[in-house]
Amino acid sequence: MRGTDNIGHDMSVEPIVKRGNMKRISNTDASFYYADTGRTPSVVGGLLIYDQSTHGRKKVRFKEILGWIEDRLHLWAPFRQRLVKVPFDLGLPYLAEDPNFDVEFHVHHLSLPKPGDWRQLCILASRLYSRPLDLNRPLWEINVIEGLDKVEGLPKGSFALLIKLHHIVADGASAISLLTAMHAMTDSMAPPTPPAEEAAKSSALPTDSALLMRAVPDMMQQPFKTAKSALSLIKGEMKVGKSRRESNIASAPNAPQTIFNKEVSPYRVFDACDFQLEDFKRIKRLLPVASVNDVALAVCGGAMRRYLISRDALPSQSVVAMCPINVRKASGGVESGNQISDMSVALGSDIEDPLQRLQAIKMRTDDAKKLAALRGDDILEHTVGLFSPAVASWFFRSAEGMKWISKVKPVCNTFVSNVPGVPFDLYFCGAQMQRSYAMAPLGDGMGIFHAITGIKENMSISVTACRDMVPDPAFYAECVRESFEEYLALCADEGGSDSVVYLENK
């Protein structure tokens, strides 16, 4: 899907950082490190499903999977990199090659109990995703899951990969670089040849004293960095104020308090719905000025409305979604880490009529994009940059992982992230990818996340939620399905769909 993250589909595979080099993470990356707790692990994930009948022997062995991944370790630098923390958080952490790297620690083999249906797959995925990653090793994990024979619509013998990445090394857009490294575009593509320097031994990790020496110049420059960040944020807000006065741009919506805006538990639930991209395009034609992204937001808004009504918890004010925006300038060679901004959009949960909801969302996304552009691409980077790493670390980790956030007025009620899907076939160990789902981290005050992605003409809406807040994920997925079908029903008479009048924003 060509989503909010707005990146291209360049499948070139160039290593981001040469082996042995250390890379200091950004303020944005560090915020996900600081926010990582046992209850709120900062982990992004993907559940990918493959048909192994496309393999030459019709069977993929676990040993082959280990070899396939080892052959591609040089294509994505974070495969071998672990976090290196500066003592007392006096400087931003680094990523450095782990001298004790062992691929077998990161790749696990599991099987669903019989009968091996979708519900069991979602339960296992939820349990695996709930576990934090070990921050003393490279920040990824792959679980190979077989026994999916009763998952409806899949070829017999299909298997899944549950991929977990720490948010330090990947946002929705940069996760594409991992997919690039892990996959081939044909079922018989030869493994890429590693560069000559790959034969070199990994160097030892830097000592604490060496890290402290590196941190001293940054500590001395911190007042200037704080001033620069503050000036950038003030300029952005001044642009917003001027534009509101001159162009009548609506301000960011206020989010109501909901059952999703509480302290989260350590446990997650996951479910997803599959769709055809063409159906979303048909729905889009109900409102010619709308985008596929607008339709996806409207479907999520309708699902939240249905679910909240079922819990007798629908607020009179619309729920608000925070939507990440990829701000990378280049179309190819996506670097690991995070380069994101965001926009806030009211999802129209207070509007019963689905078409009016879509019209309202279209108007709101237009204004939200303008506000995000005026504030600038580096708003999160500069917000965290207002403080020294030691202060930022203390702030994020105070009050047991920022539990206080769940006690104040929420900024949003959910996240909705559109990660571009892949428009062509991908193969892993000769097995063709059939389905693609995404999983996303939660935090106190924000207990549900919608992720939209897909492959070729298939599209999915995945839901990750706190188990305490959404104890019935299969029912929530049904709410997503019913919201989509409500829109699809409006397309029954497509001949008259182009006559829909777009409401002016007044």
**Contact yes or no for 371/342 (Cβ under 8 A):** no
High-pLDDT (> 70) share of the chain, %: 82
Q: How far is CA 216 from CA 90, 228, 237, 324, 347, in A?
A: 8, 19, 32, 34, 47
Cα(172)–Cα(339) distance, integer angstroms: 10
Q: Does position 131 have pLDDT exceeding 60, yes or no?
A: yes
**Contact yes or no for 35/402 (Cβ under 8 A):** yes
Helix (H, G, I), strand (E, B) or coil at 197: helix
What would the pLDDT profile of 214-262 be if each residue is shown by its tens digit? Answer: 889 888 888 888 888 888 878 877 876 766 666 666 666 889 999 999 9
Reported confidence tier of residue 12, pLDDT bands at 50, 70, 90: very low
Reported confidence tier of residue 64, pLDDT bands at 50, 70, 90: very high
Cα(7)–Cα(190) distance, integer angstroms: 27
- Cβ neighbours of residue 69 under 8 Å, at least 6 residues apart? 103, 107, 142, 182
Nearest to 423 by CA among 176, 187, 189: 176
DSSP code string of 274-341: EEEHHHHHHHHTTSTT--HHHHHHHHHHHHHHHHHHHTT---SSPPEEEEEEE--S-SSSPPSB--EE
User: Which carries the bigger pLDDT value, residue 300 or residue 501?
Assistant: 300
- When mean pLDDT is compared across 317-326, 330-339, 423-432, the lowest value belongs to 330-339
For residue 69, the model assigns a pLDDT of 95
Q: What is the dihedral of CA 183, 184, 188, 193, to 10 degrees?
A: -90
Reported confidence tier of residue 400, pLDDT bands at 50, 70, 90: low
What would the pLDDT profile of 151-164 be if each residue is shown by its tens digit? Answer: 999 999 999 999 99
Cα(402)–Cα(404) distance, integer angstroms: 5
Q: State the average pLDDT for the chain.
A: 84
For residue 201, the model assigns a pLDDT of 55
Q: Does position 197 have pLDDT exceeding 90, yes or no?
A: no
Q: Does position 8 have pLDDT exceeding 60, yes or no?
A: no
- DSSP annotation of 126: H
Q: Does position 403 have pLDDT exceeding 70, yes or no?
A: no
Q: Does position 182 have pLDDT exceeding 60, yes or no?
A: yes
Reported confidence tier of residue 43, pLDDT bands at 50, 70, 90: very high
